[in-house]
Chains A and B, each alone.
Chain A
């Protein structure tokens, strides 16, 4: 068993027309035992930037605290929010600092950049960036998420349709994964608003 699969997770981000969505499952487990069904893996960095941390829950929490700390320092020095591209480089650098004793997390970063252009990106646990134009996935359900996203995704969706698509992709993927599921958390971000929705899912 891999340490990345210790707690179980499913994470996905998708690009729409001038918007993006990021979603995760809600399970916190210890191998096959479910500890909680209201766990948070997606965090808001600022109004137009979200990060999801799949993998080991403890490292997701540690990493989130370090990222918030670094982003706050940036805000104080620069008097502005970080661009998603910049933030992705920051995450990458923080992860690579621990090259030979990594955080066991695979992050997903999603944000709106200059002129509200959506940006999504994922990384491995040592910070190798993987940029995408359509969708990115991570976690123990990543294989099934690839399949679901590949067949459900359409370019330039409006926020409502994007929400439906990402939710259906997430819910159908976690049904084929024992370590993730128990509902979902979905954020749809447009230039003017952030909608957060909690999905009910299969409880088995």
Chain B
């Protein structure tokens, strides 16, 4: 089953309230930019674990996902 960046974006949004999500990818490797209030107070690793828990068994078909995670404030600062 081929996974598209749009699929990955929907999977993330199904479980995580986000201010902004961008996903690019070639069907096996995906790069995501995710901005969510849920990341507040968490280190990078914890933020990524949260996203991986939400994606759950979909990670078996996504194979490789690289992420840049931001809180809304960090996103505003770097924009």
- Decide if A and B are genuine partners: no
